[in-house]
Structure 1
Amino acid sequence: MIQILLAIISGIIVGFLFALIKLPVPAPPAISGIAGILGIYLGYKLYNYMIPFIDKL
C-alpha cells in the first residue's frame, strides 16, 4: 500500500512541475494509457499462469 501511495504522490509532484513550467503531460491520453497499462499487467499475469503448461510440452 505504501508503494501505491508513494507512486501517487510522486505522480502529483511531477504533474504539478510539468504544469508549472508549461510542458505537456508526459503520459498518453487517460483511457488509452490506462488500457495499455492494464494490458501489460494482464499479459504478465497470463504468462505466469501459462508457464507451467508450457513447461510440460
Structure 2
Amino acid sequence: MKEIILALLSGFIVGVVFGGLRLPIPAPPAFAGVAGIIGIYLGFKFMLWIGPHFLTWFK
C-alpha cells in the first residue's frame, strides 16, 4: 500500500510541475493509455505465471 501512495504522490507532484511549466503531461492523456499500461502489467504477470509451464513444452 505504501508503494501505491508514494507512486500517486510522485505522479501528482510531476503533474503539478508540468502543469505549472505549461508543458504537456509525460503520460497518455486518455484512459486508453492507462488501459495500455495496465495491459502491459497484466501481460508481464501472466508470463511470470505461465512461463515455467510454457518452457517445459519445448523440452
Q: TM-score, normalised by structure 1?
A: 0.84
User: Which residue pairs with 1:29 in the alignment?
Assistant: 29
Greater helix proportion:
1
Q: State how far apart, in whole Å, the 2-side matches of 1:52 and 1:27 are.
A: 33
User: Which residue pairs with 2:41 in the alignment?
Assistant: 41
Q: State how far apart, in whole Å, the 2-side matches of 1:38 and 1:54 are.
A: 23
Listed as ranges, the gaps of 5+ residues in structure 2 are none
Per the TM alignment, residue 5 of structure 1 is displaced from its structure 2 partner at its CA by 0.6
Q: State how far apart, in whole Å, the 1-side matches of 2:38 and 2:7 are.
A: 16
Q: Tell which deviates more after alignment, 11-20 or 43-52.
A: 43-52
- Asked if 1:5 is matched to 2:1, the reply is no
Q: CA RMSD in A?
A: 1.2
CA deviation profile, 1:11-48 (whole Å, cap 9, x unmatched): 11111111111111111123111111111011112111
User: Which residue pairs with 2:55 in the alignment?
Assistant: 55
